[in-house]
Amino acid sequence: MIILAATPIGNLGDASVRLRDALEHADVVASEDTRVTQRLLAGLGIRNRPRLIALHEHNERQKADELVELARDRDLLVLSDAGMPTVSDPGFPLVQAAVAAGVDVTAIPGPSAVITALAVSGLPTDRFAFEGFLPRKAGDRARRVAELAMDRRTLVFFEAPSRLAASLDALADAFGPDRPAAVCRELTKLHEEVRRGGLGELAAWASGGVRGEICIVVGGAAAERADAAGALERVLELAASGTRLKDAATLVAAESGLGRRDLYEAALAARRSPRADADRRLNPPVVPRNGG
């Protein structure tokens, strides 16, 4: 079978008993960086010296079928440099190929930067989404965060220290500078740091340069803003289908409890120019409810 094994994200003391046992008895290990795996073996005092096969983002699709066939006859232990394989790390194409070929896949659970960052962020944990790394290019990054601006779940991102300030700026532009967030740096390591505050405040802090492994955790959109954005989209959809704009605003106001006049004026503003429409999507107005 294929065994996906979580490795420590910083502190070697977090290596589980099952991970140590698997490393001690493994014949073949596919790992993101074989040099990191060698250091892990040495750091944990593992005497076993398994065959190491590199499995990284540049070769994993080419290697998948070969490794699946190898796993038909023996256990294949799969490691990323830190945390669980397949979670923004190599391994997913291998698992896909194994499932398609009928080869068993199991996991040795353990440390996760996503869950650790979420737990210490101080932000809601009941509903969350992991978004991996934001796009490198500014335009692609802006489009991605615009799509997420009204998501009411807590969002978790990975980010490289060199792009942290730019990503926080993009998030602040799309979500608003006061949206609560946390930057979690060097989790479980000696210099662990969790910096909490509004996105604008965190972007200003990060502009001075930050080092280490980074997770960003961002609070979800407030329910009222998300409801207003959805209602405004509904007005525009009805108008596009032929309903008079005033009638569309009246209908949606009755459905949502939001103010008819405010919905109508927001829809007019969205119609005036592409720029206004873009601003609406990135930072929609809070439409008062009827009677308030």
Residues 119 and 135 in one domain: yes
Residues 86 and 39 in one domain: yes
Same domain? For 83 and 183 the reply is: no
Q: Which of 218, 235, 253 is the C-terminal boundary of a domain?
A: 218
Question: Are residues 212 and 166 located together in one domain of the fold?
Answer: yes
Neighbouring CB atoms inside 10 A of 35's CB total 11
Q: Is residue 195 part of a domain?
A: yes
288 domain-assigned: no
Evaluate if pTM is beyond 0.75.
yes
Mind listing the pLDDT tens digit of every residue in the chain (292 residues)? 999 999 999 999 999 999 999 999 999 999 999 999 999 999 999 999 999 999 999 999 999 999 999 999 999 999 999 999 999 899 999 999 999 999 999 999 999 999 999 999 999 999 999 999 999 999 999 999 988 988 989 999 999 999 999 999 999 999 999 999 999 999 999 999 999 999 999 999 999 999 999 999 999 988 766 678 888 888 999 999 999 999 999 988 877 778 888 889 889 988 875 544 444 443 554 445 554 4
67: containing domain = 2-111
Q: Is residue 290 part of a domain?
A: no
CA distance 230 to 217: 24
Please give the tally of structural domains in the chain.
Answer: 3
Residues 182 and 227 in one domain: no
CA distances, 180 to each of 12, 21, 73 (Å): 31, 41, 50
What dihedral do alpha carbons 32, 36, 42, 45 form, nearest 10°?
A: -50
**88, 111, 134: which is the final residue of a domain?**
111
- Is there a single domain that holds both residue 96 and residue 9? yes
Any domain includes 17:
yes
Same domain? 148 vs 185: yes
Nearest alpha-carbon partner for 176 in 208, 144, 138, 218: 218
Listed residues 218, 238, 264: the one ending a domain: 218
Residues 123 and 210 in one domain: yes
> Could you tell me if 188 and 227 lie in one domain?
no
pLDDT confidence of residue 225 = 66
Q: What residue has token string 């990054």?
A: 141
Distances (CA, A) of 156 to 132, 180, 284: 7, 13, 22
Per-residue confidence (pLDDT) for residue 279, from 0 to 100? 46
Task: Determine which helix (DSSP H) or strand (DSSP E) holds 133, and give its type and residue range.
Answer: strand 128-133
Q: What is the pLDDT of residue 270?
A: 86
